[in-house]
C-alpha cells in the first residue's frame, strides 16, 4: 500500500477511473455484439441496434476509453455487416 497522502489519492482516483472505464467498455462491447448478431440474422431491428452500438462506440471514443481509429474501424465493420443483407 502507498505511504504518502498524495499517492493514496492518486491510487483512489485511478481505481474510480478503472471502474468507470470498465463499465463503458463492457456496455459498448455488448451493444456491438447485439448489433452484429442482429445483422447476421437479418432482423428488422438491426438498424436500430447498429445505431445504438455506433453511439456507444462514439461515447467510448470521446471519453478516451478506446482510440478513435479503433472506434472508426468498429463502426465501419458494423455498417459493412448491416449493408451486406
Structure confidence by residue, pLDDT tens digits, 4-55: 999 999 999 999 999 999 999 999 999 999 999 999 998 899 999 999 999 9
What CATH class has 5-84?
Answer: mainly alpha
pLDDT band at residue 84, thresholds of 50, 70 and 90? confident
10 Å CB burial of residue 54 (0-12, 13-18, 19+) is buried
Give 57-83 pLDDT, tens digit per residue. 999 999 999 999 999 999 999 999 999
Q: Give the start-to-end residue ranges of the domains of the chain.
A: 5-84
pLDDT band at residue 3, thresholds of 50, 70 and 90? confident
Amino acid at each position: 500500500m502507498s505511504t504518502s497522502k498524495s499517492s493514496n489519492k492518486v491510487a483512489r482516483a485511478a481505481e474510480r477511473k478503472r471502474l468507470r472505464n470498465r463499465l463503458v467498455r463492457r456496455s459498448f462491447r455488448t451493444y456491438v455484439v447485439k448489433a452484429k448478431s442482429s445483422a447476421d440474422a437479418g432482423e428488422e431491428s438491426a438498424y436500430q441496434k447498429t445505431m445504438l452500438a455506433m453511439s456507444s462506440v462514439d461515447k467510448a471514443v470521446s471519453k478516451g476509453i478506446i482510440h478513435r481509429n479503433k472506434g472508426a474501424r468498429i463502426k465501419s465493420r458494423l455498417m459493412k455487416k448491416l449493408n451486406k443483407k
